[in-house]
C-alpha cells in the first residue's frame, strides 16, 4: 500500500510539474503574441473574418482550399468579448484563438492515462518546445486548429483501439474528423493515414457490422459539421454542391505545388537541421529522434504490441512522409505532423520496463530544455527574418510602420473627400491596416476612377504614372523581400498628411 501511494504521488508530481511548465511556456507565448508584423496570409484570413462579422455569412469559395471554420470560431470568440466590428480587431484578438487551441493540448495526456499513465505527459513539453509549434501557435491561419484537432482525433482513435473508450466516443471522433475538413482540405491526408493505419494494425479484427442506427449516428456526426459550416449554417445550401470542386482543386494543388512547389529537402531540413547565413541552427530533433525510436521499438516487437501502440508508431510517420513527398509545401503544413510525432515520441515510456521507462521519461522531460535558445530566437530577433525556417514569404518588419503611415494618409484623404485605390493581386497585409477606412477600393487592374491615393505593384509604376493627372508624390513601399509596392499620393493630400502627422 505504501509503495502504491508513493507511486501515485510520484505520478501526480510529474503531471503537475509538466502542466506548470507547459502553462508557463504558453504564457510566455501569449506575452509575445503581438511581437511580429501581420503576415499576408494572416491578413487575408482576418479580413475574411471581418467580412463575416459584418455580413453574418461566409461566402464559400471552392478554389480557396480553406474551410470557413476558422472564421466562424474567431467571429464567435470576438463577439463573446464584446468585439462586433472590424474596426475593433487587433493583432492580439485575432491571434488569441490559435493560441487557445494550442493550450487545449493540455487535455491529451489525461485522455491517454488509461493506456499509458503519466508516460503521455512529456508530450506537452515536447510539443510546446518545438520551434514550429511555438511559432505558429500565434498565427491566425487554419493550421494551428487543424493540428490540434488532428492530435485529438488520433488520441480518440488510440482509446478506441486500446479498448478504453466510453460509449459515445466514436461519435465525438467522427465529429472531430468532420471539423478537420471544415478547416482545410489537407485534412484528407490525416483521414487517409488514419484509415490506412487502422487497417495495418489490425483494427478491423473482431469487428462486426454495427447496427444501422449506429452507422447513421457516426455518419451524421461526421457530416453534420461539414454540412453546417460549408452551407453557412444552411443559409447557402447550394454551396455544398461546390465541395467536389474544392476537393479536385485541393488535389491539383497538392500534386502540382502551385506557387509553393518545393523538393522533399524543404521539409527534411526543417525537421533535422536548418541553418542559413550565419543564423542559429533550427531542428526538430528532440521530437524526431524519440519518434523514430518509437517506430523502431514497435516494429521490432510488432506482434507483442497492442494495436494502439502500433497505430501511434506508424500513423505520424506516414503523415510526415506524405507531406515530405507532396510537391506543395509551406512551413506551417508541418505543424500537424510535428505535433503527432511528439505524441508518438512518448511510446518508449509506455513500452519499456520500469527502470528503462523512468530513464526514458527523464530524458523526454529534459529534451525540451535543449530548445530554449532556439525558441527565444524563433519569436524574438528572428521572428520575421527569412533565415528562420518557419518564416516564409513574411511581411518585412518595416511593413508595420508603412501600414500605419498608409492608414494615416487614407484618413487625411477621407477628410478631403478623396479615394484610395489598391490594385493588383499581391498587396497583403496592407488591407489589414486599412480595415477601418470606408474610402478604400480594391481592383485587379488600374481602375478608370479618379484616385487621390494609389497603391500598386512595383512592376506597374510606369503605367500608373502615365495615367495620372496632376501632381503626385511617389515612393516605394516595402512589403516582403523582393516584393515592393509603389505609393502615389496627390500632392495636396501628402502635404496635409505631413502637417498633421509629421510635425
pLDDT for 424: 86
Residue 7 reports pLDDT greater than 70: no
Tell me the per-residue pLDDT of 38-90, one tens digit each, with 9 for 90 and over: 999 999 999 999 999 888 777 677 777 688 999 999 999 999 999 988 889 99
pLDDT for 431: 92
Q: Grid coordinates representing 187?
A: 485534412
pLDDT for 205: 65
Quote the Cα angle for 390-333-398, to 5°.
35
Q: What are phi and psi of 481, to 5 degrees?
A: -55, 125
Q: Grid coordinates representing 85?
A: 466590428
CA torsion 332→401→425→137, rounded to 10°? 20
Q: What is the mean pLDDT of residues 321-339?
A: 96
What span, in angstroms and rounded, lies between the C-alpha atoms of 436 and 89? 10
Amino acid at each position: 500500500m505504501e509503495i502504491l501511494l508513493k507511486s501515485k504521488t510520484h505520478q501526480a508530481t510529474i503531471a503537475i510539474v509538466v502542466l506548470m511548465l507547459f502553462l508557463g511556456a504558453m504564457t510566455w507565448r501569449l506575452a509575445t503574441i503581438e511581437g511580429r508584423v501581420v503576415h499576408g496570409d494572416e491578413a487575408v484570413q482576418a479580413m475574411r473574418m471581418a467580412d463575416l462579422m459584418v455580413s453574418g455569412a461566409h461566402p464559400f469559395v471552392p478554389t480557396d482550399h480553406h474551410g470557413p471554420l476558422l472564421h466562424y470560431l474567431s467571429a464567435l470568440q470576438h463577439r463573446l468579448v464584446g468585439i462586433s466590428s472590424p474596426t475593433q480587431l487587433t493583432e492580439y484578438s485575432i491571434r488569441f484563438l490559435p493560441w487557445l487551441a494550442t493550450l487545449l493540448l493540455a487535455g491529451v495526456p489525461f485522455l491517454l492515462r488509461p493506456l499509458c499513465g503519466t508516460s503521455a505527459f512529456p508530450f506537452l513539453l515536447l510539443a510546446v518546445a518545438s520551434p514550429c509549434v511555438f511559432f505558429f501557435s500565434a498565427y491566425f491561419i487554419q493550421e494551428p486548429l487543424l493540428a490540434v484537432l488532428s492530435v485529438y482525433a488520433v488520441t480518440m482513435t488510440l482509446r478506441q483501439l486500446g479498448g478504453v473508450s466510453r460509449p459515445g466516443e466514436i461519435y465525438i471522433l467522427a465529429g472531430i474528423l468532420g471539423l478537420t475538413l471544415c478547416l482545410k482540405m489537407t485534412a484528407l491526408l490525416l483521414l487517409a493515414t488514419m484509415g490506412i493505419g487502422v487497417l495495418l494494425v489490425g483494427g478491423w479484427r473482431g469487428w462486426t457490422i454495427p447496427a444501422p442506427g449506429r452507422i447513421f449516428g457516426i455518419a451524421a456526426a461526421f457530416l453534420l459539421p461539414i454540412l453546417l459550416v460549408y452551407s453557412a449554417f444552411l443559409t447557402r445550401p447550394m454551396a455544398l454542391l461546390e465541395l467536389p470542386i474544392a476537393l479536385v482543386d485541393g488535389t491539383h494543388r497538392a500534386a502540382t505545388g502551385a506557387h509553393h512547389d518545393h523538393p522533399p529537402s524543404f521539409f527534411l531540413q526543417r525537421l533535422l537541421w536548418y541553418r542559413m547565413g550565419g543564423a542559429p541552427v533550427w531542428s526538430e530533433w528532440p521530437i524526431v529522434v524519440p519518434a523514430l525510436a518509437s517506430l523502431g521499438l514497435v516494429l521490432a516487437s510488432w506482434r507483442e504490441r497492442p494495436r494502439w501502440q502500433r497505430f501511434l508508431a506508424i500513423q505520424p510517420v506516414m503523415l510526415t512522409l506524405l507531406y515530405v513527398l507532396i510537391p506543395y509545401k509551406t512551413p506551417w503544413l508541418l505543424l500537424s505532423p510535428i505535433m503527432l510525432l511528439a505524441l508518438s515520441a512518448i511510446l518508449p515510456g509506455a513500452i519499456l520496463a520500469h527502470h528503462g521507462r523512468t530513464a526514458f521519461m527523464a530524458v523526454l522531460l529534459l529534451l525540451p530544455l535543449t530548445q530554449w535558445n532556439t525558441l527565444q530566437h524563433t519569436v524574438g530577433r528572428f521572428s520575421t527574418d527569412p533565415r528562420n525556417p518557419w518564416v516564409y514569404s513574411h511581411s518585412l518588419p518595416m511593413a508595420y510602420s508603412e501600414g500605419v503611415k498608409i492608414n494615416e494618409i487614407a484618413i487625411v484623404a477621407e477628410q478631403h473627400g478623396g479615394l484610395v485605390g489598391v490594385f493588383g493581386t499581391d498587396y497583403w497585409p496592407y488591407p489589414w491596416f486599412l480595415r477601418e477606412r470606408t474610402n478604400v477600393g480594391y481592383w485587379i487592374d488600374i481602375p478608370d476612377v479618379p484616385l487621390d491615393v494609389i497603391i500598386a505593384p512595383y512592376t506597374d509604376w510606369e503605367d500608373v504614372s502615365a495615367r495620372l493627372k496632376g501632381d503626385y508624390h511617389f515612393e516605394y513601399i516595402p512589403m516582403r523581400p523582393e516584393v515592393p509596392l509603389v505609393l502615389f499620393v496627390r500632392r495636396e493630400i501628402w502635404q496635409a498628411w505631413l502637417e498633421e502627422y509629421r510635425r
